[in-house]
Amino acid sequence: MYWKYLKYILRHKYYVFIECIKLGLIWRGIVHDLSKLLPSEFIPYARFFYGNYPTWSDMLPGIKSVYFGPTVETVSKDFDKAWLLHQHRNKHHHQFWVLKEDDGGVKVIPIPSKYCKEMVADWRGASIAIKGFDDTLNWYKGNKDRMILHESTRNLVELLLMWGNA
């Protein structure tokens, strides 16, 4: 499971690096997603995407009291924590730039150009690594309404996506 996940990370990083070079972001391409190699992200991600764990409901009542290994539920909770860590460690995630205020309000901060470009390169790299081709524009169209983006960021994202598919 860990080997499979490491191979995916390296494949993803390779394609993101290629996309970053196209956008003039050599250093961002090199350092992209290095936090995924930290144990706090690597282990939960590998378990979530490549592990095979029982659910609590699948177990016999007597086994529940003596089973101490990971379950689907614990793996999912650990992944959520790792995903939150990853978003807060990496400025190329749009979630990094959304400020949830104590009063319940939300401020949306424009993403600096280099991180916005890296974000689009990340989406393209993920598409190519997973599907074998760049389907980023269709993915964006299906997900854009769920993304909280500053207007200037959204404009740049859409310009980059149109430019990349011209």
Per-residue pLDDT of the chain (166 residues; tens, 9 = 90+): 899 999 999 999 999 999 999 999 999 999 999 999 999 999 999 999 988 766 656 555 555 555 566 777 888 999 999 999 999 999 999 999 999 999 999 999 999 999 999 999 999 999 999 999 999 999 999 999 999 999 999 999 999 998 865 4
For residue 147, the number of C-alpha atoms closer than 13 Å in the C-beta half-sphere is 21
Angle at 111 between CA 35 and CA 145, to 5 degrees: 95
Q: Would you say 50 and 1 are in contact if contact means Cβ atoms under 8 Å apart?
A: yes
Beta bridge partners of 107: 99
Instruction: Give me the pLDDT at residue 42, please.
Output: 94
The pTM assigned to this predicted structure is: 0.86
The pLDDT of residue 54: 61
